[in-house]
Amino acid sequence: MKIITIEVSDNMYENLTRGAYDANARLEEFIANILDRYMLDKHIMETKEVADAYQECGEVNLEIANL
């Protein structure tokens, strides 16, 4: 496993922290789960899988917008 450091805005940090709290997860675990879930290789996915992934991303974006 590798460790990376990223910079985010104060607003994004608050959103991530709140999301991690709501998910009952550590912040690092929450971010890793987001990356695992949404960093998909579209070249190996079937069309339906891509559509489902975009739908899921849209739902998450709406949830974040309502925080």
- Is residue 4 included in any domain, yes or no? no
Q: What is the pLDDT of residues 9-57, one digit of tens each?
A: 999 999 999 999 999 999 999 998 888 777 765 555 566 777 777 788 8
The count of structural domains within the chain is 1
Return the pLDDT at 20.
94
- Is residue 32 included in any domain, yes or no? yes
Q: Are 29 and 20 in contact (CB under 8 A)?
A: yes
Return the pLDDT at 55.
83
Give the predicted TM-score (pTM) of the model. 0.57
Cα separation, 51 vs 66, whole angstroms: 23
Task: Count CB neighbours of 19 within 10 A.
Answer: 19
- Is residue 23 included in any domain, yes or no? yes
Name the residue range of residue 21's domain: 10-65
